[in-house]
Amino acid sequence: MNQKIKNMGWSYFLVTVGSFLTAAGLVMFLIPNKIASGGVSGLATVIYYVFNLPVGGVILFINIPLFLLAVRVMGRHIGAKTLWAILVLSFSIEIMTPALKVLTHDPLLASLYGGAITGFGMGLVFRAGGTTGGTDLVAALLNHYLPNLSLGQGLFAVDAFVVALAGIVFNAELALYAVIAIFVSSRVIDLVQEGFNISKSAFIISNHPEDITEVILKRMERGVTVLKGYGGYSGKEKNILLVTISRSELTRLKRMIYEIDPRAFVILINAHEVLGEGFKDW
């Protein structure tokens, strides 16, 4: 029970920090430079410059009805964390706007840094099991009423609408900067979700699998998983070795494989956030 409470407390801490960071990215970079990077925050930015209404208040005004509708339509699994993130984000923007200094008026720098900071903040919120509302809720509702429209297509449609609106209200150039901010933000969200500690996984196909397995186990002290394969050309069964290592061990692994079998076929892929013995704990 205590562990469950600790986990819940940690998740709400991440949601709070993530919402603060998202607000900071909006206040210091995106909003003052008229970069409406999609979603409700982008729409609120446009409304702010057209009607002089506070961004945080508009975000709250739009998100709360969306949240209530989503709960009514799709059930309570939408989550209290999302409601908490909406509240923290909205009030943080209003508190930070007079307190934080705008760091740049260069739209390119603003889109890059604003996208990175808001992406990192939203990534923390997503990692904790919440959302910042807005686009995610709209996309989920669109998917519910239009089943043929996927969540990804819904997200794209909402962001595209906001960027197009920004292009009409502001200008096409600022809309292009908004696209940059959306791209940077999405990439940073993926990094936070998948983990920054990227390891390497290797699939090794060799005529000497036993020898390679032995050196990996004894000299590198890494585990090896043997997968059964079948050569499409040769028609012969083959043992495929799977090993996951840190990036610093990659050169050593390749050298050892080459010493045993210069004709070995090796496939290397990035492995994000490896959990278990020898790597990160759960």
pLDDT value of residue 75 = 62
22 within 8 A of 132, measured Cβ to Cβ: yes
- Looking at residue 187, its pLDDT comes to 86
Q: What is the pLDDT along the chain (282 residues), one digit of tens a residue?
A: 577 788 888 889 999 999 999 999 999 999 999 999 888 999 999 999 999 999 999 999 998 888 888 777 766 656 788 889 899 999 999 999 999 999 999 999 999 999 999 999 988 988 887 778 777 777 667 766 777 766 556 677 888 899 999 999 999 999 999 999 999 988 888 888 777 667 889 999 998 999 999 999 998 888 999 999 888 877 888 889 999 988 878 888 999 999 999 999 999 998 876 776 666 665
Pair 42, 132 in one domain:
yes
Whether residue 122 is contained in a domain is answered as yes
Residue 92 counted as domain residue:
yes
Residue 73's pLDDT is: 72
Please give the full DSSP string across 77-118, using - where no structure is assigned: GG-HHHHHHHHHHHHHHHHHHHHSPP----HHHHHHHHHHHH
Contact (CB, 8 A) for 50 and 160: no
Helix (H) or strand (E) holding 202: strand 198-205
Q: How far is CA 135 from CA 6, 15, 236, in A?
A: 30, 17, 51
Q: Are residues 87 and 182 in the same domain?
A: yes
User: Do 208 and 187 belong together in one domain?
Assistant: no
Residue 280: alpha-carbon gap to chain centroid: 19
Is residue 278 domain-resident?
Answer: no
Please report whether residue 141 resides in a domain. yes
> Do residue 190 and residue 214 come from a single domain?
no
Residues 50-84: tens digit of each pLDDT: 999 999 999 999 988 888 887 777 666 567 888 89
Claim to verify: residue 208 and residue 189 sit in the same structural domain? no
> Are 110 and 167 within one domain?
yes
Could you give the C-alpha distances from 197 to 74, 191, 194, 271, 272, in angstroms and in order? 35, 9, 9, 9, 7
- As for how many domains the chain has, the answer is 2
Domain-embedded: residue 282: no
What are the C-alpha distances in Å from 14 to residues 40, 86, 184, 194, 248? 21, 14, 21, 16, 30
Q: Are residues 150 and 265 in the same domain?
A: no
Of 194, 212, 232, which marks where a domain is finished? 194
In this prediction the pTM is 0.77
Among all chains, which residue has been given the structure tokens 């013995």? Answer: 277
Model pLDDT, residue 1: 54
Residue 213's domain spans which residues?
198-272
Residue-wise pLDDT tens digits, 164-187 = 999 999 999 999 999 999 999 888
Residue where one domain finishes, among candidates 138, 164, 194: 194
- Other C-beta atoms closer than 10 Å to the C-beta of 191 total 16
Query: Quick one: tokens of 266?
Result: 């090796």
Q: What is the pLDDT of residue 151?
A: 56
Asked if the structure places residue 242 within a domain, the reply is yes
Whether 279 maps to a domain, the answer reads: no
